């Protein structure tokens, strides 16, 4: 993937990882469009960096996806990079009943949304010989027991990305998967014992990997999770289970 001269769409980029990537890619000489669900945050992003184009959109909303795809084709015909970054994480207790809509909200945003957006934009991406970057997680290798649905969506995204890469290979479309480790963002609170990196550190490591043509990028501790899942799976599963047990919500009395 070339790192400059692109027209890029980054979802869920009003803060955190997505915003850090958006600012870096603008700095590298790209036209960058970012989406988010919160208009106030998007307004703040646009004020802080006027070079970014901001669009309010919701990956869980079918109409919003269709509207976004139509806008990309009309206003940004040169769109050649899609970065599926939008995601939510909720700590859950699977031992208690929960509202079924809330229970699967992560599936809609983390998995269904990116799949639908790729489908909506695929002809444009193919025509421009572009790149799709799917952001999953280092937790595709070892799930965190406190975040069961989130981890399931990221594991599914991993499988989807592999097959997407295989199917688009003959079309000249590059498919990259970024599997971040724990990053210090607003996504969800983490125990003090969990080592995190900053969004800017993640961006730096990712840019270096993209320069080398890597299609699967697992920076920092994500690489360690990958290694341990192969060579000491029982040990690493147990360690993450212990580390996250305190994050499981207590049943309400």
Structural domains present in the chain: 7-247 (3.40.50.720)
CA atoms within 13 A on the CB side of 165: 15
Question: What pLDDT does residue 243 have?
Answer: 86
This prediction's pTM: 0.95
DSSP H helices, the chain, are 16-27, 39-48, 62-75, 100-103, 105-106, 113-127, 148-168, 199-211, 221-231, 233-244
Strand, helix or coil at 54?
A: strand
* Cβ within 8 Å of residue 74, ≥6 positions away: none
Name which of 30, 24, 54, 34 is nearest 206 in CA terms.
24
156: three-class secondary structure by DSSP: helix
Letter string b/e over residues 67-102, b meaning 16 or more CB atoms within 10 A of that residue's CB: ebbeebeeebeebbbbbbbbbbbbbbeeeeeeeeee
Instruction: Tell me the pLDDT tens digit for each residue of 8-56.
Output: 999 999 999 999 999 999 999 999 999 999 999 999 999 999 999 999 9
Rg (CA), the chain: 18
216: Cβ–Cβ under 8 A, 6 or more apart, which residues? 176, 177, 179
pLDDT in tens, 188-234: 777 666 788 999 999 999 999 999 999 999 999 999 999 999 999 99
Q: Which residues are catalytic?
A: 150
């Amino acid at each position: 993937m070339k790192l400059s001269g692109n027209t890029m769409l980054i979802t869920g980029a009003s803060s955190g990882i997505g915003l850090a990537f958006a600012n870096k890619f603008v700095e590298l000489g790209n036209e960058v469009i970012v989406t988010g669900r919160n208009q106030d945050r998007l307004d703040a992003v646009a004020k802080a960096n006027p070079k970014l184009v901001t669009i309010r959109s919701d990956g869980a909303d079918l109409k919003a996806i269709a509207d976004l795809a139509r806008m990309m084709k009309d206003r940004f015909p040169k769109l050649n990079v899609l970065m599926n970054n939008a995601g939510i994480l909720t700590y859950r207790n699977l031992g208690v009943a929960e509202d079924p809509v809330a229970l699967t909200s992560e599936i809609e945003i983390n998995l269904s949304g990116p799949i639908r957006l790729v489908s909506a934009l695929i002809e444009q991406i193919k025509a421009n010989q572009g790149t799709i970057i799917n952001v999953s997680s280092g937790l595709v290798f070892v799930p965190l027991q406190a975040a069961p649905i989130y981890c399931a969506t990221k594991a599914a995204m991993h499988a989807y990305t592999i097959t997407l890469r295989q199917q688009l290979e003959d079309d000249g479309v590059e498919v990259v998967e970024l599997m971040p480790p724990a990053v210090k963002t607003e996504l969800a609170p983490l125990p003090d014992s969990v080592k995190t990196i900053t969004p800017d550190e993640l961006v730096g490591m990712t840019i270096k990997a993209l320069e080398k043509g890597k299609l699967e990028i697992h920076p920092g501790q994500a690489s360690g999770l990958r290694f341990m899942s192969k060579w000491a799976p029982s040990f690493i599963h147990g360690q993450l289970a212990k580390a996250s047990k305190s994050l499981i919500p207590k049943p309400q009395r």
